[in-house]
């Protein structure tokens, strides 16, 4: 999330709302519009909470576009803010990020339903890493045993 907070001025100074164009791609449970045309989801609720502490007034755009298309809109200056962006070296050249994350995500290994051999091996590797106190990702290993 790209965000700048307004410094508070004297109590008698008028607060001017800051209009912020937010990328709002449809993501189940994160950015949604329900049957009553109400916005919902974690990303939406987070921005509503942020608005309590800022003078931000949001305009939500890009619901009919993919997340990647919303990122392109941010790059082109058509929106001001996009949530749920992973920080990468390539993106750091183009975008600024908040100092603190707004959430965490987890990736998991996925195999075809009913396939057990890879799941069992991955579980053993994970348990071994936990026992050894590793704080780094395990290498991906090909079926022949060579590290990728």
Give the model's pLDDT for residue 62. Answer: 96
Give the model's pLDDT for residue 16. Answer: 86
Q: E strands, 34-126, where?
A: 39-40, 56-61, 81-82
Q: For the whole model, what pTM was predicted?
A: 0.64
Give the model's pLDDT for residue 48. Answer: 95
Residue ranges for the chain with pLDDT beneath 50:
1-12, 132, 134, 138, 140-143, 145-148
């Amino acid at each position: 999330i790209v965000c700048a907070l307004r410094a508070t001025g004297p109590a008698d100074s008028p607060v001017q709302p800051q209009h912020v164009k937010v990328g709002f791609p449809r993501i189940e449970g994160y950015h949604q519009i329900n049957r009553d045309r109400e916005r919902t989801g974690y990303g939406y609720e987070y921005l509503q909470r942020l608005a309590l502490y800022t003078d931000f007034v949001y305009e939500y755009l890009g619901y009919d576009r993919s997340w990647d298309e919303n990122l392109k809109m941010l790059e082109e200056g058509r929106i001001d803010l996009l949530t749920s962006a992973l920080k990468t070296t390539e993106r750091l050249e183009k975008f600024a990020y908040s100092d603190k994350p707004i959430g965490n995500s987890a990736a998991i290994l996925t195999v075809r339903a009913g396939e057990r051999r890879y799941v069992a091996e991955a579980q053993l590797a994970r348990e071994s890493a936990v026992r050894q106190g590793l704080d780094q990702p395990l290498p991906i290993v090909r079926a022949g045993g060579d590290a990728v």
